[in-house]
Structure 1
Amino acid sequence: MTGAVLSALRAQESSSGVTDTARLLVSCADRPGIVAGVSRFLVERGANIVQSDQYSTNPESGSFFLRVVFHLPGVSARLDELSEQFAVEVAQRFGSDFEFHDAARPKRVAIMVSRYDHCLLDLLWRTSRGELPMEIGAVVSNWGDLRDEVTRFGVPYHEIPVTRATKATSESAQLDVLGGGRYDLVILARYMQILSDDFLRRVGCPVINIHHSFLPAFAGAGPYERAKERGVKLIGATAHYATADLDEGPIIEQDVTRVSHRATTRDLVRAGADVERSVLQRAVRWHCEDRVLLHGNTTVVF
């Protein structure tokens, strides 16, 4: 299946009605009967499976991943009950991890940003148009530059300065805004600070980061200037889950665009911003549509 066809199918599901619709994610060691067991469980409760995707790393000794979208009247009020029953009737039998998600409930999202606005404004704009299945509850920044832009969208803006001397205190203040189970996802939309391991443990939800794909070749300051000097022909971006290992978390999405010797450094920066926007919004969309399953330090994206 081509990338264009896959994107079209995903967009079709995203735009379709989600009332009385839920998603079930399953991961376990592969063995016969998993799909039959999951399907039987849903059908016996009156559910109609409307989409199913599965993947096995190896049919004899691999890991198995399944994403099922199903319609069931009143499912929003039944998810806890379904989860308890599934744990006993299916998950114990196959030794599986699983999650049920209400497709009608947008993910609660917060964004962290510094001074670059391209990814932030793209996410705010797409969310305001109903293009992303999420609700943005807060923007946290270590600068005040983007306050006016954000407040135009009716989103609270929290300026929390960060210096080397105040990092621990600043992260504590950030957690006062972001922690406590308030959010399902935090997005680093070009937040130019390194988050501590303690922050990532305490924030209580996944964190998605975006950065240029020059790493590790042009790490540090001035990557586009050095890329121009080296004569690169591809500008790329990577969206991944943030972990304790800097910029090494499980990759969700990547893309590139071609540039030529005629491109100036400014052209490279503009091309990089374009690809960062598109990569980040796809990664965020897929996460919010419960399409991403972790497999060690990699991902399976349905």
Structure 2
Amino acid sequence: MTDRKGRASDRPPDDLKKERDAFIQQFFRKGAQLTEELLRENERLRDKIAELEAENSKLRAHLASDSAIRDLLRKIEELEQEKRDLVTQSVRMVAASDRFNTRYADAEGELANLANLYVALSQLHSARSVRHVLRSLKELLAQFVGAGAFAVYFVSDEGNDLVAIASEGAPVADIERIPVTEGVIGDSFAKGEIYLKEGGDVSKGSVSDPAAVIPLGFDGRTIGAIAIFGTLPQKTEFVNVDTELFKLLGEQAAPALINARLFSDAGRHVPGVQAFLNLEE
């Protein structure tokens, strides 16, 4: 009986059993809840890690893009510098080409001027009569200088007046005879210096205010003059080649006229060889 009572006393009371079962169930529920919370937190952390990895990938791509942009900008700057260098070289080449073209044009102009002077000299000295020399002078003045009104003067035997031996475009009465001591023409003749009108339209010259005066020299003295009273309307100023032609006419026109006169006086005969052998006489 006692044993039966003792074994009966080993069983927990029903209330205690229920409390134990409730505790165990609650413990497992808590464990399950904690496990679920851990799983959810783990999932959240995984999502966060994936998000961070994605953001990290974006940052890496952005950095790579920035590096590419920097390389591109550096390449663009190199190309811009190369372009500037090429433009500078091109400008230098254009400047050199312009200088060459200018020198070429100047040389071409000088050659043309020399050709004109040669033609003028050839025409003067190829004439065998005074009339032909004067006609050549008129053509030279009209074609090369653009003279519209002019006269060719020789000094009188007394040396007091300049007498017109040829003229063009001017009233004969106004230019026929000019005292060597009066006006621009007389002053240029007396000084033996070429006169050029300055600061005005040379096409609007006159007898009293000529556009140019060219003294004619022979054997170291002045024996006449060419007076250009005015040029053609399109010729408003003299240029360098005109000045060179004036110098040539001043030196060559008088000898051409005198030689033509002497040749005509000699009956247009060429002297014999003896005339050249007796040069000292």
TM-score of the pair, normalised by structure 2: 0.18
More helix by percentage = 2
TM-score of the pair, normalised by structure 1: 0.17
Larger radius of gyration between Structure 1 and Structure 2? 2
More strand by percentage = 1
